[in-house]
Amino acid sequence: MKRVVSIMITLILAMLVLGGCAATPPAESEGQKAIQQQAKSHNIDIVSFKKTDGKTGTNNGIATYEMFYEVSAKGLVHKGQNITGKGSIVFEKRENGWVSVAVKGLPTDEMTYKEEMEAGQKSLENLAKKYKDKTK
């Protein structure tokens, strides 16, 4: 009987220890921090960040977590206007905690910037044409 109790206590302790090893997902604040770091490199100010979902997984034996989000941001091109977007952040579990390894879907002003550059190019072409017409 003592042996059965001893085995049961050992099994219960093992379950508690192994159950405690399960990685808790990164907090929403960790996602917001990852987005703010990425946004800073694009000169974008984050107005709001909201976690919408999450998905756990593994990649080559490493625990991963993909956090889906919605974000509202202000960029340099559209001063005063908010840019909204949806995307995800991929985290890997490391010894020191969760580390963001990829940010997908951060809204940027690249499309608008491209459009403005094209408009600027057309303006330059129009100025060159007017100058050429005046010099004839």
Among candidate residues 92, 70, 71, 88, the one with its CA nearest the CA of residue 25: 92
Distance from C-alpha of 50 to C-alpha of 88, rounded to nearest angstrom: 11
Asked if 54 contacts 68 with a C-beta cutoff of 8 angstroms, the reply is yes
Would 117 be classed as within a structural domain? yes
Q: What is the pLDDT of residue 119?
A: 52
CATH code for position 80: 3.10.450
Return per-residue pLDDT of the chain as tens, 136 residues: 666 556 666 656 555 444 444 569 999 999 999 999 888 887 788 889 999 999 999 999 999 999 999 998 887 555 667 778 888 999 999 999 999 999 888 765 554 545 545 555 555 555 556 556 655 6
The strand order across the sheet containing 97-104 reads: 45-59, 62-74, 82-94, 97-104
Please give the single-letter amino acid code of residue 110.
E
Domain that holds residue 79: 26-134
Would 71 be classed as within a structural domain? yes
Q: What is the pLDDT of residue 124?
A: 56
Would 20 be classed as within a structural domain? no
Q: Is 7 helix (H, G, I), strand (E, B) or coil?
A: helix
Write phi, then psi, for 127 (nearest 5 degrees): -65, -40
The total number of structural domains in the chain stands at 1
